[in-house]
Structure 1
Amino acid sequence: MESFRKAYGALKDSTTVGLAKVNSEFKDLDIAIVKATNHVECPPKERHVRKIFSATSVARPRADVAYCIHALSRRLAKTRNWIVAMKTLIVIHRALREGDPTFREELLNYSHRGHIFQISNFKDDSSPLAWDCSAWVRTYALFLEERLECFRTLKYDIESERLTKSVPGISKVHSRTRLLNAEELLAQLPALQQLLYRLVGCQPEGAACHNYLVQYALALFFDMAKYDAVKALNIYKRAGQQAEHLAEFYGFCRTLDLARTFQFPILRQPPPSFLETMEEYIREAPQTWFHVKEETG
């Protein structure tokens, strides 16, 4: 049965490529999308992803970029195969991280007309693995949608747009949130917390935990060396302690007569599962995260 599914998937891919060659005005782009998101259980091949990046660059007309997003959305909406769905999300995620900002801008415009990641009913029940991976696909889509909403609030992308502060002989990369004033920080933190909530929810379960394609997608979340991950964990722990002390300080201020006219913000801590996930990652991660070699063919 599994062999039949693979053969059927390959036939569907070749048929779709053939139709694109005959009917599509964006032949090369359509073929690259189908090949990058085919039914083969391996990460999207780099040469196809690069063609998609090229088709959505600032040098191309905005209509071309919009068509690419429409084609990816259509691919995601029509498929009932978890491999195709996950690879489509990976391509979108990589385009947001590594592609030209025009892709993100057009994706924001497209999402105003309807959620591109609205696949809450997606299900591939062809096998126990497909069932577990389908659940993770839905979670992955929620994270990417939240990532887009976070950009609407922050007006910058926390992954692809970092500020570099140069010091003689040292280059430090840090988040823009370090430069915000109190008012801006309070406006942006809820969006960041919600994105963190979606990130924590991306912990796979069941057979999906050991699937290589899921692990490849997760590498886009934790793309950092073990040493950097340790530093990040210590920062989160310290932030949690500071939040507790700040809550105590607010509690004291509320007892003062003058404070009766003020409204203090509600402080929410990252869920314990996030710290547990980070600690588990640090225990098991190599000194640097794995890199995927492109398959031949």
Structure 2
Amino acid sequence: MGRLTNLRDLVGAIKDKASQSKAAAINNSLHLSLLRATTHDPFTLSNPKHIATLLSYGHGSRATASAAIEALMDRLQHTHDSSVAVKCLLIVHQIVKQGSFILQDQLSVYPSSGGRNYLKLSNFRDNSSPVSWELSCWVRWYARYLEQLLYASRVLGFFLCSTTSTAEKDRAEEKVSAMVTSDLVKEMDSLVGLMEEAGRKPESLHLKGNSIIGEILNFVGADFLSAINDVSVRVNEFKHRVSCLSFGESVELVCVLKRLEGCREKMVELSPTRKRVLIDGMWVAVREVLDKSTEACRGEKQGRLLLTWGGRREQGTESARFGGRVLSCSDSFRASSARFGSSRNA
């Protein structure tokens, strides 16, 4: 197996050299940078210098940024190699985290048709070796995770884990108190969805200690902390609104918060020790809002049942009174017979 793996690595290295030589020959600097950043080596991270070169395409015109995103997505969606695919996904994540606004904007609108299977990797398989097969599981999960990250960012109105959007996030937090409750619930739903997807990461057998997997987990862990911060802001806002929620809003909020509680174990796993105080404080607020929302749902449900049954009883009483006032044919016949009987006795 080791010999086959070495042969595969050799073939991959030859492909990389050939592709890079071709790109250099036609003087395509964008394609050359992308090839250098997404090699076939499953154990070595992309050179930061090549990543920086790709990110620099976001500092020019919109057309240049668009061409960079098109090239990256073309590379991602046409490769059958798990190493190339996972490195492309890491670049997508780095654009979200560190890219310029114009590069992030081009990423957010690709493809123009949108869709939930945004990166189209749900059926990705690379069975050329046990390592590539296991890495394929990470490719499929990582693509789903990034799809959820991009979706949550659209809902929130900013890129969740971006280092360039701090001021924008601060403004967004200020707007939370002025938001419509239904929109606030939708934001909570998208954030919890991201945390749930983070908790579905694959297990590693052949990839323990792999630097690529380690980088993915570092990125996802940072996103997780950002999501916790944003969830905490919204949970605290719901503490002030819980008594004013409609029945439907209370039900939706209870469902979202129960899903959030399902992420608790993964929070401990993915969050550093220094953040435990923040997380513990958030759980206190979550439990308070969940208890109040659940109680409001029960009270509303009982009230509706009482109203429903009360209406039925009232309707039945009115019908009985109506029946007492109007005689049926049989009642009329019995009354006549009684009168006739009494006259005969008389």
Question: Same fold judged by TM-score > 0.5?
Answer: yes
Match in the other structure for 1:196: 195
2:17 paired residue among 7, 11, 14? 14
Which runs of structure 2 are paired with 1:90-101 in the superposition (5 Å)?
Answer: 90-101=90-101
Q: Which moved more, 1:133-142 or 1:109-118?
A: 109-118
Q: Structure 1 residues 209 and 233 mapped into 2: Cα distance closer, same or farther (>3 Å)? A: farther
Q: Structure 1 residues 112 and 250 mapped into 2: Cα distance closer, same or farther (>3 Å)? A: same
Give the distance between the partners of 1:103 and 1:141, measured in 2 at CA. Answer: 19
Residues 183-203 of structure 1, C-alpha deviations (whole Å, 9 max, x = no match): 241232222222222222224
Give the distance between the partners of 2:71 and 2:111, measured in 1 at CA. Answer: 14
Question: Normalized against structure 1, the TM-score is what?
Answer: 0.74
Q: CA RMSD in A?
A: 2.8
Deviation at 1:48, TM superposition (A): 0.5
Give the distance between the partners of 1:62 and 1:106, measured in 2 at CA. Answer: 8
Larger radius of gyration between Structure 1 and Structure 2: 2
Structure with higher helix content: 2
1:255 paired residue among 297, 302, 314? 302
Match in the other structure for 2:147: 145
Q: Structure 1 residues 133 and 73 mapped into 2: Cα distance closer, same or farther (>3 Å)? A: same
Give the distance between the partners of 2:285 and 2:98, measured in 1 at CA. Answer: 29
Give the distance between the partners of 1:252 and 1:81, measured in 2 at CA. Answer: 56
Give the distance between the partners of 1:208 and 1:133, measured in 2 at CA. Answer: 8
Deviation at 1:23, TM superposition (A): 3.1
Give the distance between the partners of 1:105 and 1:260, measured in 2 at CA. Answer: 52
Q: Structure 1 residues 239 and 206 mapped into 2: Cα distance closer, same or farther (>3 Å)? A: farther
1:255 aligns to what SS in structure 2? helix
2:284 paired residue among 238, 245, 259? 238
Which runs of structure 2 are paired with 1:170-181 in the superposition (5 Å)?
Answer: 176-177=172-173, 179-180=175-176, 181=179
Q: Structure 1 residues 199 and 35 mapped into 2: Cα distance closer, same or farther (>3 Å)? A: same
Contact 2:5 2:129 in 1 (8 A): no
Q: Structure 1 residues 238 and 205 mapped into 2: Cα distance closer, same or farther (>3 Å)? A: farther
Structure 2 residue runs without a partner (length 5+): 226-270, 309-346
Question: Normalized against structure 2, the TM-score is what?
Answer: 0.64
Match in the other structure for 1:70: 70
Q: Structure 1 residues 256 and 19 mapped into 2: Cα distance closer, same or farther (>3 Å)? A: same
Deviation at 1:239, TM superposition (A): 4.3
Corresponding pairs, count: 249
Q: Structure 1 residues 98 and 259 mapped into 2: Cα distance closer, same or farther (>3 Å)? A: farther
The one-letter code of the counterpart of 2:62 is R
Q: Structure 1 residues 260 and 219 mapped into 2: Cα distance closer, same or farther (>3 Å)? A: farther
Deviation at 1:77, TM superposition (A): 1.5
Which runs of structure 2 are paired with 1:1-297 in the superposition (5 Å)?
Answer: 1-23=4-26, 27-40=28-41, 41-57=43-59, 60-113=60-113, 117-160=119-162, 161-163=165-167, 176-177=172-173, 179-180=175-176, 181=179, 183=181, 184-208=183-207, 210-223=209-222, 226-245=272-291, 246-256=293-303
